[in-house]
Structure 1
Amino acid sequence: MSSTRVGRGGRAAMVAAALVVAAGCSDGTPTGSGTSVPTSAPTAGGSVPGGAGAVKLTVDSTVATGIEVPWGLAFLPDSTALVAERDSGKIKRVSGGQVSEVGTVDGVESSSEGGLLGLAVDPGYPGKPYIYAYYSGGDDNRIARITYRDGKLSEQQVILEGIPAAAIHNGGRLRFGPDGFLYAGTGDGSDRPTSQDDNSLGGKILRITTDGKAAPGNPDGRVWISKGHRNVQGLAFDGDQLYAAEFGQNTWDELNAITPGTNYGWPAAEGISQLDGMTDPIAQWRTADASPSGIAFAKGHVFMASLRGERLWAIPVAGGKRTGEPQAFFTNQYGRLRTVEAAPDGSLWLTTSNTDGRGDSRDGDDRILHVTLGS
């Protein structure tokens, strides 16, 4: 089994440090309040103004229930989906409202925010019968390629390791880009300087081949394409334009438009700071109103699932710029919202995260909601 190792020094210190900063904004209980964007949009559905025109969101059904701490979600070509359970390390298949287990990722060690996180399906599937999983393995976070054939997992191979790990700030989202390369959002592993350390994979957005190598065209041939991130758990593409959602510390959560080679400021900057040599987000929120995890792009909007904020944000964008005011949907209706994905039928699938130890679990939690988009 081949793998790529990138500096792993100081992992024990990172885990210890996580206990010190846990009161700040992870995906749980940040201390900020208020917001820099409107929060008065309808909670059960409605229209969102923006440069791309209005969009209407409605939760019309529940796709599945009884999933424990769902995190990653990825669609297969047959429109069924694979879902990662963070704490159990299991991957479930959702088809026709039925949930079945397809296997367990080896080596997963869960923590407050660590465990089995992002999932992605090879764009060449089923000819290339692989899925990719981002998971916490104790000393570090890793990305593995796993064969998925005949409804079962097999032949797990670590393709990249050495991503900083701690009880919090593990990042974890995976997304294939239109260029066919795999993108990963990482966290600073509760050690702030890693975000600016060019030799660390912490606080970065990675762009790699399916063998875990630096993708052609990466700045300076590195594995990562951007730095200065605190904790990236959301990635989404509009054509070639990549957007990333990022947890702030105590004040501002962010949505960034990603340009390769750019420094997004953490830990010197949190939110819009106008610091020389650092790029500001295109939108920011008080941490009490967001604590963002997954994002998806559809109908000219980035949709952003919020944990502490317990709402789905819709942000109109075009060409890496915000074209209107973000609006909130479903506020306080379904609890903590972790992942949102654009489904093959044009809907959104939206997962709750009320069984993660930080929410109030309800009957049927956690669940996947089916959200229709109209105009």
Structure 2
Amino acid sequence: MEIKKAICTAAILMAAVCLQAQNKCAGINLSVWKGISTQSLDSTQTSYVNLGFLSTINRLNGIGINVLGGVTRKEMNGMQISGLANIVGGSMQGLQLSGISNISGNNLAGLSASGLVNITGNGAKGVIISGLTSIGGDNTTGIMMSGFMNVTGETASGLQLSGLANITREDLSGMMASGLLNVTGKNMNGIQIAGIANITANSLNGMQIGLCNYATQVHGVQLGLINYYQKTIKGFQLGLVNMNPETKVQMLIYGGNTTLGNIGVRFKNKLFYTILGLGTYNLNLNDKISASASYRAGLSLPVTPKLSISGDLGYEHIETFKNKNEVISKRLYALQTRINVEYQITEKLGVFATGGYGWTRYYNKSHNFDKKTIVEVGLILF
């Protein structure tokens, strides 16, 4: 009895599969390997259901599921799922899922997700997700997410997220975020966020956030440790070092009642400047050495071609070394404000005098260790 049921079931399935309709085998393709399938491969054939190990079909309007891979020579409209790879020679509309790679020769509209690589030959609209790399040929609109890198051939709009780098050959409108690097070949309209560097070859219209930021023209904000623009800026830079081609890099040698001897580097723009300094700190207790590292940011205004007045706010980290005792902590910090008057003797030599006030505080306590007036004099080189 069971044998008869099995024979009847097999006969019904064979009849359904081999039924001649508008498409051979009623648009159902069962494939073991290339050339070993229920549908012949010709230019008029359309498959609505494709099941197999490794399939090659002409066109898919429906669903295709393959253990190894599925190849569609023309368009795919629907769903394609493979253990290794999906390849579409024309355009893809719908869903692609694979363990290793998805490839669309022309346009993609929908969702494409793979374990390693997604490649779109022309445009893409939708969501592209890969474990390693996503590559868009020309125009990409939507979301690209990859564990390693996203690359778009020309323009892109939307969101790009990657573990290492995002690279767009021309313009991007939207947001780029990566663990290491973002690069836009021409214009960036939106936000770049990177763990190391953001680069916009032409115009930035928006914001860059990273350790290092570069743009030829800035219409917005650069926020990072080192910010650089090549030509013009309409906005501002906020960082430890803010530079452009006209930035003067000068050495400062100075000392005073709070700092016995210091050396610093000043990055001076037309109005604003920042100073990074190293030196000693005077605790006024004994002759043992304490060291400090400081950062200052301020505004400079010219009075005459050689005389200028500036003011800045500063932070100073202090290592007390052998001065540490029950009163003095191993580390202290100081908040300082200064007014400076400087005179340029020659093109590469100047002098300055400083007056200000500082508060030296504990890191682990909510009160001051000391507070005093600051008096300093020094030289400006280069």
TM norm. shorter chain > 0.5: no
Larger RCO (CA within 8 A; separation ≥ 6): 1
Sort the TM-score into its range (normalised by shorter chain). Answer: under 0.3
**What's the TM-score once normalised by structure 1's chain length?**
0.23
Higher strand share: 2
- Greater Rg by CA: 2
